[in-house]
Amino acid sequence: MTRKVPELSLLSYVNGSQNDQIKFVDELFKGLKEYGFITLIDHTVDQKLCDKAYDVVHEYFQKPTEYKMQHICEAGAGQRGFTSFGQEHAKDSDKPDLKEFWHVGREVPSDHKFAKFYPSNIWPDDMPEFKNILEKLYGALDQTSVILLEALGRALDTPEGYFKNMIHLGNSILRPIHYPPIKDAKADGVRAAAHEDINLITILMGATDGGLELLDRDGSWLPVQTKEGELVVDTGDMMTVITNGVLPATTHRVVNPEDTSSTRYSMPFFVHPNPETELAAIPSCIGDGIKYKPINSHEYLLQRLKEIGLKK
């Protein structure tokens, strides 16, 4: 039987009966445990907003390189604004990924205790809709992450509010990505080399082209295919730590297309804890012993940013 990433209905959890919710919680946990990925065939993010986001992102990335280079955040280790083509690479890879991207992050008042961790967002002055739409999308995906992690917390037998408190004012990042045509790339490599995400979970809006693959438990590469209006969810390294390996981060990649003239856009939302969070094993996951030493989430993030080339 051909393996396929499980498809779940988030609205069955949000609007359904108690039995519907129990079923979703079980399927979410099982899907992330067995695949590391699940697909949401329906959810709480307005598709019209998703479509508008892709429109403004496409408009931005078609601008000249000189224009985009004005929006680099030198002080933010690539955590805000524009990151140019070939800057990021997978951990332990010496070849840059064939992509450029933009980061939208959390904003807090200047006198907030987290302000020192969060650089201000950067926005193109002549594209007001770019800012407006991406801020709305960030908020919608942020709210969806609370729902998903609440459900996952039920499966992991965590105290009420465990994940909600962890990600409240968390360091989550929205990353619109542009993969230009391979024929224009002028670099040796792939669109995104095999890697694991850093964060707790990633919510990925359906990309404009295929290429996403996960490393299945048997060591084979399994394509992750979505339809318009669906979201993909996967687990990151921080989830591996706090679940003591029960929900491991799954290696994935974006392979180069056969059509070297094709362009690909994608828009992952990386769900992070707040920077004061200690990443430590959830009691229900300890089993025969703790595998990962507890670590502060911000320290862990900085360590990983160095490993992928975004921080020196």
Instruction: Note the pLDDT tens digit of each residue in 10-39.
Output: 999 999 999 999 999 999 999 999 999 999
- pLDDT category at 74 given cuts 50, 70, 90 is confident
pLDDT at 186 over 60: no
Summarize the confidence of residues 84-101 as an average pLDDT. Answer: 78
- Taken in order of first residue, the domains within the chain and their CATH numbers are 7-307 (2.60.120.330)
Contacts from 56-61 at CB under 8 Å and sequence distance 24+? 56/127, 56/129, 56/130, 56/133, 56/134, 57/102, 57/130, 57/134, 57/176, 57/178, 57/265, 57/267, 58/265, 59/127, 59/130, 60/102, 60/124, 60/127, 60/130, 60/176, 61/100, 61/176, 61/178, 61/265
pTM recorded for the entire structure: 0.93
Q: What is the pLDDT at residue 288? A: 87
Q: Closest by alpha carbon to 166, among 109, 77, 269, 238? A: 238
Which residue in this structure is represented by tokens 């479509």? 51
Mean confidence (pLDDT) of the chain? 91
The rounded percent of the chain whose pLDDT value lies above 70 is: 94
Which neighbouring-strand residues pair with 81? 72, 103
pLDDT single digits (tens) 149-179: 999 999 999 999 999 999 999 999 999 999 9
Which is more confidently placed, 171 or 89?
171
- pLDDT category at 188 given cuts 50, 70, 90 is low
**Buried b vs exposed e over 145-159: b needs ≥16 C-beta within 10 Å?**
beebbbbbbbbbebe
Summarize the confidence of residues 114-142 as an average pLDDT. Answer: 95
Summarize the confidence of residues 250-254 as an average pLDDT. Answer: 92
The single-letter code of the amino acid at 252 is H
Summarize the confidence of residues 110-132 as an average pLDDT. Answer: 94
Which is more confidently placed, 209 or 132?
132
73-87, 97-111, 213-227 — which is least confidently predicted?
Answer: 73-87
* 251, 140 contact by CB (below 8 A): no
Summarize the confidence of residues 63-91 as an average pLDDT. Answer: 82
3-state secondary structure labels for all residues of 103-138: EEECCCCCCCCCCCCCCCCCCCCCCHHHHHHHHHHH
The rounded percent of the chain whose pLDDT value lies above 90 is: 72
Summarize the confidence of residues 57-83 as an average pLDDT. Answer: 87
Q: Closest by alpha carbon to 266, among 202, 214, 170? A: 202
Q: What is the pLDDT at residue 259? A: 83
Cβ-proximal residues to 211 (8 Å cutoff; 6+ apart), any chain: 179, 191, 254, 255, 256, 257, 264
Q: What is the pLDDT at residue 251? A: 94
pLDDT at 91 over 60: yes
Which is more confidently placed, 190 or 171?
171
User: Exposed (0-12), middle (13-18) or buried (19+): which is 78, by Cβ within 10 Å?
Assistant: buried
Q: What is the pLDDT at residue 121? A: 94
pLDDT at 187 over 80: no
Which is more confidently placed, 312 or 215?
215
Summarize the confidence of residues 111-130 as an average pLDDT. Answer: 94
pLDDT at 225 over 90: no
Query: What distance lies between CA 240 and its chain's CA centroid?
Result: 15
pLDDT at 76 over 60: no
Cβ-proximal residues to 232 (8 Å cutoff; 6+ apart), any chain: 5, 37, 38, 39, 40, 203, 204, 206, 212, 224, 226
